[in-house]
């Protein structure tokens, strides 16, 4: 699921999004090829799959990964090529947000392709598995609350600064003090509200648990369960509360403005470094996509 901190989402622009939460080009290849196994263990940590569910989940992950390698990596290479063209120039907030929108659109396509196995697994969940999921959600929320909600404003701002600086440095290299000052100033003016994000996160979790309990108890078909999960995904990605959606979109715009300001403060050498790294990402995407022809 995508990040619910839209300023962090705007950092996708410089982190190259999706499977790029990595620190070097070689790591992208290793990380991408390991995604099916990592995704399974992440999901299993929440769902505690049984031996009948495991092959269905692994098969669905493998199918989506093969599709993504074949269809989406070339599109990501094109997106990064566009970013490379922007890097030497001034980048407006709107141009930054256009990139975010493109990434979100690609993520939506992937979610829309969830297959029949998802419904088959959903109708087979047991109450102990759902209790396990509730406990996992609770522990995750407790951790988020401790780090982001009950921490002091200074601690939260410093944590956000370090995360975003790290993502920016993946592209530009080491940020100098002028760029770090611009980033700090932008975050100091941010309307980020961790408590509000946590409340929406809990809404999505409870909504999911309710859907899973309903489909596992009401003897619906796997296809009907899949349709209900798609409806849940739509609610998860587009909050029903109009006020929250407006605030969230405002954070996205805010993040784009911060990124634009930081980029404006970068030196020619840093922008040259960004171009080199973006070209390297493109090569990695094309190499990974080309591996599909060999399998």
List pLDDT tens digits, range 179-191.
999 999 999 999 9
Query: Model's pTM, two decimal places?
Result: 0.85
Structural contact between residues 196 and 244, judged by C-beta atoms closer than 8 angstroms? yes
Q: Return the residue matching tokens 């196995």.
A: 117
List pLDDT tens digits, range 68-89.
899 989 998 999 999 999 999 9
- The burial class, CB within 10 Å (0-12 / 13-18 / 19+), for 142 is exposed
pLDDT at 132: 97
* Count of residues in the chain: 295
| Residue ranges per structural domain of the chain | 6-290
CA distances from 195 to 144, 148, 177, 199, 210 (A): 10, 8, 31, 6, 23
Report the percentage of the chain scoring pLDDT > 90: 71
CA 161 to chain centre: 18
> Got the DSSP string for 214-232?
HHHHTT--HHHHHHHHHHH
Q: Return the residue matching tokens 């499977």.
A: 19
List pLDDT tens digits, range 44-72.
999 999 999 999 999 999 998 999 899 98
């Amino acid at each position: 699921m995508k990040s619910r901190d839209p300023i962090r989402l705007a950092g996708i622009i410089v982190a190259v999004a999706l499977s790029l939460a990595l620190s070097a080009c070689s790591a992208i290849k290793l990380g991408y090829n390991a995604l099916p196994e990592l995704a399974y263990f992440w999901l299993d940590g929440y769902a505690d799959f049984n031996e009948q569910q495991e092959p269905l989940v692994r098969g669905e992950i493998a199918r989506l990964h093969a599709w993504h390698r074949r269809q989406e990596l070339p599109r990501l290479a094109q997106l990064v090529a566009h970013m490379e063209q922007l890097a030497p120039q001034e980048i407006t907030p709107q141009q930054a947000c256009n990139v975010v929108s493109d990434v979100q659109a690609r993520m939506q396509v992937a979610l829309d392709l969830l297959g029949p196995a998802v419904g088959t697994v959903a109708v087979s969940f047991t109450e102990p598995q759902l209790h396990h999921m509730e406990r996992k959600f609770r522990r995750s929320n407790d951790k988020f609350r401790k780090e982001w909600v009950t921490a002091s404003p200074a601690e939260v701002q410093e944590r956000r600064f370090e995360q975003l600086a790290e993502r920016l440095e993946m592209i530009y290299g080491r940020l100098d003090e002028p760029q770090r000052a611009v980033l700090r100033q932008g975050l100091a003016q941010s309307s980020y509200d961790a408590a509000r994000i946590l409340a929406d996160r809990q809404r999505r979790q409870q909504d999911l648990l309710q859907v899973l309990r309903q489909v596992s108890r009401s003897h619906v078909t796997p296809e009907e369960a899949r349709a209900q999960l798609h409806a849940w995904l739509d609610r998860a990605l587009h909050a029903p509360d109009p006020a929250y959606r407006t605030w969230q979109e405002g954070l996205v715009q805010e993040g784009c403005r911060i990124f634009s300001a930081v980029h404006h403060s970068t030196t020619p050498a840093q922008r040259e470094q960004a171009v080199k790294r973006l070209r390297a990402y493109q090569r990695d995407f094309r190499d990974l996509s080309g591996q599909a022809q060999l399998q």
